[in-house]
């Protein structure tokens, strides 16, 4: 192949590519007196210019629109575009001139790679294509005025109802990048900050400006496709219409369970001809899962692996022929997708297929997405969203489990359950020798029911306290280690949680991708919208793309090593929920706070390589690489690792099967000796490795059965403690209160409201109270968190905010509840003054208001129900006369003094 001539490359590769397009190019030789006006879709070979003959000149409807410079397959075409530029400058009597170029679209190709440049813009950038453009595509590109569209974006300010400032900035960043001719970019916005709404606004402007006509909105889950389609359907344009009343919006075919109950859906199904025969007259948005698009482009066998129970499976999708210009812009939502190497390659291949602007949207950029899209052009972090009041922060509780930290040690003579993972059959046996399992083996090789039960009982304490304080049971999401049939950690947790909480089966449910879970999307909706289930156990199905604003407890009973996954899982709880006045959510780190510690420096933008679950390069390909002397040392190392993995998992029957090829079927020994064998007898060793039966066995060998232990007699020790966030640190209650004391002492004379409390209590009022609460919250000292810290440190519950502030300044100041403070103030007032029975009755009404508010104003009398329903300010003036103002001032003073 490397010795292939340029002529052969042109005839066997480039000609074939040009002709295979739909519609394709007709390749013809140049001849004198060629009737150019008659050339409609023709690639003319050896077309003359003042600077020499161009290999191919592309004519569409009598217009010379493109030039192709061809090189043999061994030449990298990227720099060969310079020759095409030379020929473009040397053309005569063409249709225009742009920066001295007389032909706008230039290509360079070696038959396997294609480089392209649209040289009409002063600051153009060349780019690599997967295929050539069709004649229709070239004509459409030529007729589109991108400069006019860019001017529209500059001259028309962004103006949408409900668009938040940071969303406005994100759209501006994208439009600036497009104006600067960027073709790839990434927007990073924290989960729950409205990426979809931002995107709909952005797409509307891009279509309105004429910059784009056909847009693909690519998502990684079927449920997200349904949500996005609904977002377009519900979007109100500046003209007062719905989005799909002005522009066509399409998606895939959905099922009833893809939507919320009662939702109406009026988005059409994408016609195939819109994809296979792009029309310049069509303007539309297509919302699709990446699963479906991968099948359309590459066929089912080259798409993502899906099992029959996967809710994202698409039975209707088929492979179809789609040209590279089918879309002008592709927006990839949650573009971090790619937990395995294969997945990563699939979504990259989908994006690479099209000659389109690519915009990645994510909350958690990973290394491979940054490598593809570049560093985010706009970022809006969780921390900033919390400070701005759009998301809620978390508080943390660490649960210390001896089993989760140190593993399990089984003593000789201990009774254990031995479970067959394939059948679920279990026998009780007595250990003849001691066995030790480390913490990573828990729920994989062994389980301790006592440990799981005690952890759930510890969580129950916090849940019941939350329920007593707020009147609602906290929606709780528990991340389990696995959901493997017969040894499922998820199933065990569901069973134990139902026993521990004692509120029936519907109260606790499992939502995973397991075939045993019936209608998982419907269960997710119930979790979101209904009281039951209140507790859901999952593995990773609910780690991304699920919006449950009322979620308040997130339990990590699954070890997490990926920063990306950690951030995604935390993102499930950050959404605000005004219906329940949600101020924060609580995470439970069941590994003694080690997860929190491990990720303490993690941000939304820690570019981590995600965990891989399967190899992209097959073992057969590795063997062929060694045979062809392609990086032999590297590939030999890879092969040895794969063979050792097989040796560790093969059964006795597998050893017998392998013995037909290697001595005694000893794969470990074969792997250990592989380097020497290749060195001393390369051909004989490769004959074994390249044997098709041997390679089939390497993939399909029988694996050894694994015994799963149930440690019934292992007793776990489980305790818990709150952790408080402050300045990106995780503090124990006492340390949190120390930080609070330092803040109060450093600011009591600097902050006006604090100064009133300490130095001028006669000016105490509701405005000062409100300002103090806002300032404390802004500085990570939420009133509820402070109250919890005082409760844990001094065993005094329900301490009021004035007590906490004064005690922080001087530890000798008493800690009072709001009720104690109000009673003390009103009692002191009644001792110093004489009141009528009617006045005492009104003081009792005021008392009820103060227990919640700790300050009172005259305006409160006509606004607070307990005062308003008894006659309001007018009645109070009648009861207290001219003394009312003095009484209000006296009460406020005594509360603050």
Spell 684-718 as b/e; 16+ CB within 10 A means b: ebbeebeeeebbebbeebeeeeeebbbbeebebeb
- 770's CB contacts (< 8 A; 6+ apart) are none
722 belongs to a structural domain:
yes
Name the stretches of the chain with pLDDT < 50.
Answer: 1, 309, 336-339, 603-615
- Beta-carbon neighbour count of residue 679 at 10 Å? 10
Cis peptide leading into residue 533 (ω within 30°): yes
Residue 523 and residue 483 share a domain? yes
Residue 68 and residue 12 share a domain? yes
Residue 832 and residue 784 share a domain? no
Distances (CA, A) of 774 to 385, 432, 494, 751, 767: 16, 64, 40, 12, 11
1 belongs to a structural domain:
no
Pairing relation of β-strands 184-189 and 357-362?
Answer: parallel
Residue 180 and residue 73 share a domain? no
* Domain range enclosing 716: 395-731
- Beta-carbon neighbour count of residue 77 at 10 Å? 24
What is the per-residue pLDDT across 213-263, written as a single tens digit (0 to 9) for each? 999 999 887 778 888 888 888 899 999 899 989 999 998 776 655 555 555
For residue 346, what is the domain's CATH number? Answer: 3.40.50.300
Residue 579 and residue 451 share a domain? yes
872 belongs to a structural domain:
yes
Tokens 């191919």, located at residue: 56
What's the rounded Cα separation, in Å, for the pair 585 and 563? 19
What's the rounded Cα separation, in Å, for the pair 874 and 861? 9
383 belongs to a structural domain:
yes
What's the rounded Cα separation, in Å, for the pair 344 and 563? 17
Residue 156 and residue 129 share a domain? no
Residue 66 and residue 139 share a domain? yes
Name the H helices within 572-616: 594-598
Residue 339 and residue 407 share a domain? no
Which of 122, 143, 164 terminates a domain? The answer is: 143
Which of 118, 143, 168 terminates a domain? The answer is: 143
The number of residues in the chain equals 897
Q: Are 107 and 127 in contact (CB under 8 A)?
A: no
pLDDT score for 158: 95
Name the H helices within 760-881: 766-778, 783-794, 801-809, 818-832, 837-853, 865-868, 872-880
Spell 860-891 as b/e; 16+ CB within 10 A means b: bbeebeebeeebebeebbebbeeebeebbebb
For residue 116, what is the domain's CATH number? Answer: 3.90.1570.30
Residue 507 and residue 481 share a domain? yes
262 belongs to a structural domain:
yes
Considering only CA atoms, which of 885, 877, 879, 838 is closest in space to residue 857? 885
What's the rounded Cα separation, in Å, for the pair 621 and 409? 42
256 belongs to a structural domain:
yes
Residue 844 and residue 712 share a domain? no
pLDDT score for 610: 31
What's the rounded Cα separation, in Å, for the pair 136 and 41? 9
* Domains of the chain: total: 5
Q: Are 57 and 41 in contact (CB under 8 A)?
A: no
Which of 785, 816, 847 terminates a domain? The answer is: 816
Residue 801 and residue 721 share a domain? no
Considering only CA atoms, which of 262, 252, 257, 313 is closest in space to residue 519? 257
Residue 603 and residue 495 share a domain? yes
868 belongs to a structural domain:
yes
């Amino acid at each position: 192949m490397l010795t292939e001539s340029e002529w052969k490359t042109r005839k066997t590769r480039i000609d074939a590519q040009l002709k295979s397009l739909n519609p394709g190019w007709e390749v013809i030789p140049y001849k004198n007196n060629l009737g150019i006006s008659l050339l409609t879709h023709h690639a003319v070979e050896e077309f003359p210019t003042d600077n020499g003959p161009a290999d191919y000149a592309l004519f569409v409807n009598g217009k010379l629109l493109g030039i192709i410079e061809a090189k043999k397959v061994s030449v990298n075409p990227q720099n060969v575009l310079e020759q095409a530029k030379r020929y473009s400058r040397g053309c005569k009597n063409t249709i225009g001139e742009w920066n001295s170029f007389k032909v706008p679209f230039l290509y360079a190709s070696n038959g396997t790679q294609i480089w392209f440049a649209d040289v009409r813009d002063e600051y153009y950038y060349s780019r690599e294509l997967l295929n050539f453009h069709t004649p229709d595509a070239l004509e459409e590109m030529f007729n589109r005025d991108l400069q006019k569209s860019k001017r529209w974006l500059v001259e028309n300010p962004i103006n949408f109802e409900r668009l938040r400032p940071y969303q406005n900035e994100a759209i501006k960043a994208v439009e600036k990048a497009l104006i600067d001719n960027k073709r790839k970019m990434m927007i990073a916005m924290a989960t729950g900050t409205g990426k979809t709404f931002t995107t709909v606004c952005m797409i509307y402007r891009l279509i309105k400006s004429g910059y784009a006509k056909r847009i693909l909105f690519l998502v990684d889950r079927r449920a997200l496709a349904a949500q996005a389609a609904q977002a377009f359907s519900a979007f109100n344009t500046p003209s007062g219409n719905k989005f799909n009343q002005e522009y066509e919006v399409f998606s895939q075919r959905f099922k009833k369970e893809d939507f919320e109950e009662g939702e109406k859906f009026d988005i059409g199904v994408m016609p195939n001809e819109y994809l296979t025969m792009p029309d310049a007259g069509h303007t539309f948005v297509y919302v699709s899962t990446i699963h479906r698009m991968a099948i359309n482009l590459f066929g089912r066998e080259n798409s993502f692996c899906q099992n029959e129970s996967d809710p994202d499976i698409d039975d209707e999708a088929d492979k179809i022929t789609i040209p590279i210009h089918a879309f002008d812009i592709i927006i990839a939502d949650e573009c971090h997708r790619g937990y395995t190497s294969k997945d990563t390659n699939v979504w990259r291949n989908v994006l690479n297929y099209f000659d389109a602007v690519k915009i990645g949207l994510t909350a958690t950029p990973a290394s491979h997405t940054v490598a593809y899209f570049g560093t985010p052009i706009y970022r809006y972090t969780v921390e900033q969203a919390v400070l701005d009041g759009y998301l809620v922060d978390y508080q943390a509780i660490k649960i210390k489990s001896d089993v989760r930290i140190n593993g399990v040690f089984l003593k000789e003579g201990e009774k254990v359950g031995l479970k067959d993972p394939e059948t679920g059959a279990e026998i009780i046996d007595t250990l003849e020798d001691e066995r030790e399992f480390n913490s990573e083996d828990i729920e994989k090789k062994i389980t301790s029911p006592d440990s799981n039960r005690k952890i759930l009982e510890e969580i129950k304490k916090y849940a019941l306290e939350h329920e007593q304080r707020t009147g609602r049971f906290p929606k709780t999401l528990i991340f389990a280690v696995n959901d493997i049939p017969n040894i499922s950690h998820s199933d065990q947790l569901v069973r134990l949680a139902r026993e521990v909480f004692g509120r029936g089966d519907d109260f606790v449910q499992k939502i995973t991708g397991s075939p045993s879970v019936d209608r998982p999307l419907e269960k997710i909706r119930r979790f979101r919208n209904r009281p039951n289930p209140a507790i859901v156990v999952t593995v990773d199905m609910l780690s991304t793309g699920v919006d449950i604003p009322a979620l308040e407890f997130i339990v990590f009973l699954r070890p997490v090593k990926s920063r990306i996954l950690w951030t995604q899982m935390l993102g499930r709880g950050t959404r605000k929920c005004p219906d329940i006045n949600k101020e924060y959510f609580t995470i439970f780190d069941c590994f003694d706070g080690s997860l929190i510690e491990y990720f303490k420096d993690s941000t939304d933008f820690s570019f981590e390589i995600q965990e891989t679950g399967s190899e992209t390069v097959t073992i057969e390909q590795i063997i062929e690489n060694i045979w062809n002397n392609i990086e032999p040392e590297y590939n030999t190392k890879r092969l040895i690792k794969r063979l050792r993995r097989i040796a560790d998992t093969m059964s006795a029957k597998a050893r017998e099967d392998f013995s037909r090829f290697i001595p005694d079927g000893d794969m470990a020994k074969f792997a250990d000796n592989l380097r020497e064998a290749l060195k001393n007898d390369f051909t004989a060793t490769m004959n074994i490795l390249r044997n098709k039966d041997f390679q089939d066995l390497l993939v399909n060998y029988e694996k050894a059965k694994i015994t799963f232990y149930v440690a019934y007699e292992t007793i776990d020790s489980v305790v818990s403690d709150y952790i408080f966030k402050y300045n990106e640190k995780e503090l124990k209650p006492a340390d949190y209160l120390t930080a609070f004391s330092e803040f109060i002492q450093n600011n009591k004379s600097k902050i006006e409201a604090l100064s009133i409390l300490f130095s001028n209590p006669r000016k105490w009022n509701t405005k000062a109270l409100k300002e103090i609460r806002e300032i404390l919250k802004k500085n990570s000292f939420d009133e509820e968190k402070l109250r919890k810290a005082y409760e844990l440190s001094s065993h005094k519950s329900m301490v009021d905010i004035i007590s906490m502030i004064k005690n922080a300044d001087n530890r000798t100041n008493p800690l009072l509840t709001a009720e104690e403070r109000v009673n003390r103030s009103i009692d002191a007032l009644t001792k110093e003054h004489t009141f009528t029975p009617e006045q005492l009755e009104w003081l009792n009404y005021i008392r009820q208001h103060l227990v919640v508010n700790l300050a009172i104003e005259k305006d409160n009398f006509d606004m607070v129900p307990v005062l308003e329903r008894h006659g309001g300010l007018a009645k109070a003036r009648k009861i207290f006369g001219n003394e009312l103002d003095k009484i209000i001032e006296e009460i406020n003073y005594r509360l603050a003094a």
